[in-house]
């Protein structure tokens, strides 16, 4: 548990901006449980970047174990337990929506999750007295934050990440999502595609603030040790992501099987990630007679990822629209690959085409078409000069637009604007 003295120490140790230090409470349905965990790791990077700017950042997220509060670098993380530890199955793994789709019985855990998050939010507000709440994902965090707004007269910013706008398209769910956005003091979206999925709105559009990437860290990977796992002069294609339907890894496997035999013979595919499709994907690889050319690494520490990007010749993000309507809101893995100066192929789905400019910073293909994807993979694997040009352009793009220092500055500006505006009407 973080003591009062620990909290004070972290606040005084953090560099302060010239303006008054804001205290922000971020509300999330997942947050990295360890330093190696990759669950919603972009939220940890955002929280740390805000802390580095002198903001006092608290995060409230579900625990995998019991309730706890810990100081993690410049961030204080509060964890809430919503059921006995051995029963909790909702929040992590493939994510709440995929977990519910695979195991409908988990819906019985939802009321306990919502109740525990609401109670924990009220407790943290009373003890920490934040200046504002930043809810990540419209449902359920945005709804819970808006309810707290009226109890505590706190401004609320809600951020949409994609799953919350593309999926849950029932009329009742859409009404609740619109209610949350309308009652928030401001809302942001990680891409235009994510915000447009909300449809026509009778209130201001989202402010587009994407998630970012630590350019310095992802450009510092070492390839030597991992390349020793491969035959000399082998080409390496890399996939990073949860193994769930809308990530489209099954399309990538089929595309890989369609590569010309001479190219496939000297190319290896590495799949990093885990999820409900792991076993079906392994079975698919065997059925396609390409299992010996593919390595499934499973979950990987985020700290090790730069070495994998550095080792690869090509990155592929083959996302598709899932059965529930879910799509890629932004594609943070594309930022990581670009920061590592790795050429990338992505699909024209969700917000990915806002990260990749076709023929400039990567290649874009139609989603769900393995033949087109195979053709794009072949094109880049056979043309090293093109790969190099695209990778250099991509690196310049992410450095100027997506580094966490830039993203954190945009959020701090919005925080201060919202706090200033709300102070006019707050008692």
Mean pLDDT to the nearest integer, 283-308:
96
Give the residue carrying structure tokens 């140790």: 13
CB 154, CB 134: distance < 8 Å: no
Under DSSP, the state recorded for 358 is: B
Which residues does 311 contact at the CB level (< 8 Å), separation at least 6?
221, 223, 226, 227, 236, 238
Q: Do 215-401 and 4-212+403-425 have the same topology in CATH? A: yes
234-267 pLDDT tens trace = 999 999 999 999 999 999 999 999 999 999 999 9
Under DSSP, the state recorded for 377 is: H
- Please list, residue by residue across 19-33, b when 16 or more beta carbons sit within 10 angstroms of its beta carbon and e when fewer do: eeebbbbbbbbbbbb
Q: Where are the domains of the chain?
A: 4-212+403-425, 215-401
Distance CA(46)–CA(272), nearest Å, equals 23
301-328 pLDDT tens trace = 889 999 999 999 999 999 999 877 788 9
HEC per residue, 94-119: CCHHHHHHHCHHHHHHHHHHHHHHHH
Which residues does 103 contact at the CB level (< 8 Å), separation at least 6?
89
Beta strand extents in 305-356 (DSSP E only): 314-317, 344-347
Under DSSP, the state recorded for 139 is: I
For residue 268, what are the CA distances in angstroms to 167, 233, 292, 305, 381? 34, 11, 9, 17, 11
**Superfamily of domain covering 215-401:** Glycogen Phosphorylase B; (3.40.50.2000)
What is the CATH code for 4-212+403-425? 3.40.50.2000
124-183 pLDDT tens trace = 999 999 999 999 999 999 999 999 999 999 999 999 998 888 877 778 888 999 999 999
Q: Residue 297: which pLDDT band, with cuts at 50, 70 and 90?
A: very high
Mean pLDDT to the nearest integer, 342-353:
96
């Amino acid at each position: 548990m973080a003591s009062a003295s620990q909290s004070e120490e972290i606040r005084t140790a953090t560099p302060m901006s010239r303006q008054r230090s804001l205290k922000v409470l971020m509300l999330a349905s997942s947050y990295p449980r360890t330093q190696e965990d990759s669950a919603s790791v972009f939220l940890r990077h955002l929280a740390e970047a805000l802390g580095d700017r002198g903001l006092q950042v608290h995060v409230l997220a579900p625990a995998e174990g019991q309730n706890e509060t810990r100081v993690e670098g410049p961030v204080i993380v509060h964890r809430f337990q919503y059921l006995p530890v051995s029963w909790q199955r909702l929040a992590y793994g493939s994510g709440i929506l995929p977990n519910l789709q695979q195991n409908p019985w988990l819906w019985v855990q939802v009321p306990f999750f919502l109740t525990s998050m609401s109670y924990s939010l009220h407790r943290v507000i009373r003890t920490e007295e934040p200046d504002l709440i930043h809810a990540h994902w419209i449902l359920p965090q945005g709804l819970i934050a808006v309810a707290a707004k009226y109890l505590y007269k706190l401004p609320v910013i809600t951020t949409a990440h994609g799953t919350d706008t593309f999926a849950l398209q029932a009329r009742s769910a859409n009404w609740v999502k619109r209610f949350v956005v309308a009652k928030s003091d401001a809302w942001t979206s990680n891409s235009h595609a994510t915000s447009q999925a909300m449809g026509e709105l009778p209130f201001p559009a989202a402010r587009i603030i994407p998630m970012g990437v630590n350019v310095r860290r992802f450009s510092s990977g070492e390839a030597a040790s991992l390349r020793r796992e491969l035959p000399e002069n082998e080409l390496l294609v890399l996939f990073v992501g949860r193994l769930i339907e809308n990530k489209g890894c099954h399309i990538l496997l089929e595309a890989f099987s369609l590569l010309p035999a001479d190219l496939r013979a000297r190319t290896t595919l590495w799949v990093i990630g885990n999820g409900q499709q792991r076993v079906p994907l392994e079975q698919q690889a065997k059925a396609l007679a390409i299992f010996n050319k593919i390595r499934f690494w499973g979950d990987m520490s985020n700290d090790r990822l730069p070495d994998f990007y550095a080792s690869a010749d090509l990155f592929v993000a083959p996302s598709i629209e899932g059965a529930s309507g879910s799509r890629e809101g932004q594609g943070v893995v594309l930022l990581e690959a670009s920061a590592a100066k790795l050429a990338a192929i992505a699909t024209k789905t969700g917000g990915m085409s806002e990260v990749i400019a076709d023929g400039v910073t990567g290649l874009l293909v139609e989603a769900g078409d393995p033949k087109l994807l195979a053709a794009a993979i072949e094109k880049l694997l056979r043309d090293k000069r093109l790969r190099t040009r695209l990778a250099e352009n991509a690196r310049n793009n992410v450095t100027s637009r997506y580094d966490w220092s830039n993203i954190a500055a945009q959020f701090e500006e919005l925080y201060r604007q919202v706090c200033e505006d709300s102070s006019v009407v707050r008692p």
